[in-house]
Structure 1
Amino acid sequence: MNHTKVAVIGSLNMDIVVETPRHPQVGETLLGDRVRFIPGGKGANQAVAAARLGAKALMIGAVGDDAFGQELLSALERDGVDVTGVKRLSGTATGIASIYVSEGDNSIVAVPGANGQVQPEDIDRNAEKLEQADIVLLQLETPVETALYAARKAKELGKTVVLNPAPAQPLPEELFRCADFVTPNRTELSGYTGIAADGNTLGAAMRRLQELGAANVVTTLGAGGSAYLDENGEVRLAMGHPVPVVDTTGAGDCFNAALAVSIAQGRSLREAVEYAALASALAVTKFGAQAGMPTEEEVRLFAAERA
């Protein structure tokens, strides 16, 4: 049995997903096709993905005392995620994300709500979960100071830290130094380094992030797959897998969770990136961030088909 444990410190949102024939322009009103209320949030998405990929996911975060908060906790519990590290805040709204989906692509506006009140003391209160974990997975939909505090704590405990630096925002270099793996997408990488992450300059941007303190850099490239730096600082590519795209929401979260689970299981960086590419390809073939997360068995079968 797989006893890998992944501690996920991050956001829980209710995704309000509006399907539209196209994305609206500024000042324009469109009639949408459909609206759905779907559990999401980068942290919760990654916890579900890790659980479905065979790990024990330990979630640390916050929700409000509203109906959305209870629904999010119930959804995590159905996937076997340990939610005892999620606090419920009286008089505070649960975080939400308004997601517009058109032709398989999406744009998102998130309102943090309770996610903005995840504090360093919450990390201390759940120190036992960090001690139990094989790897710690962080994102930036909770306060940066809390992510930094969690990363410090994890390193003090000798844990491997994966930082998904999204959404992009100013970060202290110490946070990069505390991360064993930093996983920006192309746009985030350009923002953090000031170097266009395209073509021949991709490697320069990734190496610049290492100079800022990241031990290992993995960059997601959308349909183009992903890239990582080998031990010599050279760019290695992991190709994407062409699949019918239904919804790209949560694909990056699936990639990060699969990468973290793989690393915790002792796979090499190349093997972990290739596994994450398989998992995230499957994630876009279903609607909804958490609903689309594949199981360990589904990834195994998909890999066999691609072999």
Structure 2
Amino acid sequence: MSDIVILGVFVADTSYRADRQPRMGETIMGRSFALGPGGKGSNQAVAAARAGGAVTFVSKLGRDTFGDMAMAAWAEAGVTPAVERGDGYTGAAYIFVEESTGNNAIIIAPGAAAGIDATFIDAHADAIRRAKVFVTQLEQPMDAAHRALRLARDGGATTILNPAPAAELPDGMLALCDYVTPNETEAEALTGIAVTDVASARRAGDALLAAGVARAAVLTLGDKGALYHDGDTSLLVPPYNAGAVVETTGAGDAFNGGFATALAEGMDPQDAVRFGCATASISVTRPGTAPSMPDRSEIDALLAG
């Protein structure tokens, strides 16, 4: 039995680096191209497993080359797959990375994972209910995420919602979440509060708690780090200096995977945020998403240093 169960999407990342994005109708020359495993849920599962967690990943794939890539990536990281492989295509993502900054823009086509529904979730109810920590995002259909959070809460799991990509949530969904982990854009979408600095992040955290989040809002703030906000304690954890930033694409997923692993090990939530920040700080020094996730020895060394 896995301590951590993650529901989400795998996509094959097609990553293009260039000086800028092309305008509509324009063709430009790129600096480089890479193909690799991605998808927020899958990235988080890889991050959690490499950080030392026992992880099961629940999803759907196609019977195609990209699906084979997913299975190989999970095997290498030590993730246990709980997947259905059907006739649809495995998802893919277009990722543009700005050469000078490492910032990114992404388009996702979820493919077979778009067929994840409440019936599919019920087929994996036992694993979800038995988890210590359950994590999901919003790349798969909303009703599936909602159903899985309910099952996890009923089973006594600590529940984490990474509300990405930003979307309107059904009534009562935040009340099923012990922790919610938005970035600035997602926090604004959920609360209507523009998150431009730490003070506005705290106001957004208050709004998320008022909307029902059970334990804490944890806002990821890019190069400012992460804000842990539970109504009594508001703690900004800055990023760690792990080297020059190469690519930020998988940073949020690295944070969530590390955070989930730390919570599953029984760490205090504020220490779990520190662990997640260290995980993300290493990931941004490397290209790619899943391939950039650090192993436990690297995280421990950064925290100790």
With normalisation by structure 2, the TM-score equals: 0.95
Secondary structure of 1:88's counterpart equals strand
Residue 288 of structure 1 is matched in structure 2 by: 288
Residue 122 of structure 1 is matched in structure 2 by: 120
Residue 25 of structure 1 is matched in structure 2 by: 23
1:252-271 matches, cutoff 5 A: 252-271=252-271
Secondary structure of 2:6's counterpart equals strand
Secondary structure of 1:291's counterpart equals helix
Q: Percent identity?
A: 37
Cα distance in 1, alignment partners of residues 205 and 23 from structure 2: 33
Secondary structure of 1:7's counterpart equals strand
Secondary structure of 2:35's counterpart equals strand
Q: Deviations over 1:197-253 (max 9, x none)?
A: 223322111111111111210000001101011451x53211112431111111100
What is the Cα deviation at residue 33 of structure 1?
A: 2.1
Residue 99 of structure 1 is matched in structure 2 by: 95
Q: Runs in 1 of length 4+ with deviation above 4 angstroms?
A: none
Structure 1 unaligned residues grouped into runs of 5+: none
Assess if the C-alpha contact under 8 Å between 1:10 and 1:60 holds in 2.
yes
What is the Cα deviation at residue 21 of structure 1?
A: 2.3
1:6-45 matches, cutoff 5 A: 6-45=4-43
* One-letter amino acid of the counterpart of residue 145, structure 2: A
What is the Cα deviation at residue 22 of structure 1?
A: 2.1
What is the Cα deviation at residue 59 of structure 1?
A: 0.6
Residue 218 of structure 2 is matched in structure 1 by: 218
Secondary structure of 1:39's counterpart equals strand
What is the Cα deviation at residue 4 of structure 1?
A: 6.5
Assess if the C-alpha contact under 8 Å between 2:149 and 2:176 holds in 1.
yes
Cα distance in 2, alignment partners of residues 205 and 50 from structure 1: 27
What is the Cα deviation at residue 175 of structure 1?
A: 1.4
Deviates more, 1:195-204 or 1:57-66: 195-204
1:223-238 matches, cutoff 5 A: 223-232=223-232, 234-238=233-237
What is the Cα deviation at residue 29 of structure 1?
A: 1.7
Residue 87 of structure 1 is matched in structure 2 by: 84
User: Considering only aligned residues, what root-mean-square deviation do their CA atoms show, in Å?
Assistant: 1.4
* One-letter amino acid of the counterpart of residue 74, structure 2: L
Assess if the C-alpha contact under 8 Å between 2:130 and 2:155 holds in 1.
no
Q: Deviations over 1:113-159 (max 9, x none)?
A: 11111111222211222233211010011000000000001111111
Secondary structure of 2:290's counterpart equals coil
Cα distance in 2, alignment partners of residues 100 and 141 from structure 1: 19
1:172-211 matches, cutoff 5 A: 172-199=170-197, 200-211=199-210
Secondary structure of 1:173's counterpart equals coil
Assess if the C-alpha contact under 8 Å between 1:177 and 1:213 holds in 2.
yes
Deviates more, 1:147-156 or 1:171-180: 171-180
With normalisation by structure 1, the TM-score equals: 0.94
Cα distance in 2, alignment partners of residues 124 and 20 from structure 1: 43
Residue 161 of structure 2 is matched in structure 1 by: 163
Secondary structure of 2:61's counterpart equals strand
Cα distance in 2, alignment partners of residues 11 and 4 from structure 1: 18
Cα distance in 2, alignment partners of residues 174 and 56 from structure 1: 29
Secondary structure of 2:218's counterpart equals strand
Cα distance in 1, alignment partners of residues 22 and 234 from structure 2: 37
Cα distance in 1, alignment partners of residues 37 and 2 from structure 2: 24
Assess if the C-alpha contact under 8 Å between 1:11 and 1:141 holds in 2.
yes
Deviates more, 1:129-138 or 1:284-293: 129-138
Secondary structure of 2:245's counterpart equals coil
Cα distance in 2, alignment partners of residues 235 and 24 from structure 1: 41
Assess if the C-alpha contact under 8 Å between 2:129 and 2:151 holds in 1.
no
Cα distance in 1, alignment partners of residues 90 and 52 from structure 2: 28
Secondary structure of 2:104's counterpart equals strand
Cα distance in 2, alignment partners of residues 102 and 194 from structure 1: 28
Cα distance in 2, alignment partners of residues 77 and 129 from structure 1: 19
What is the Cα deviation at residue 27 of structure 1?
A: 3.5
Secondary structure of 1:131's counterpart equals helix
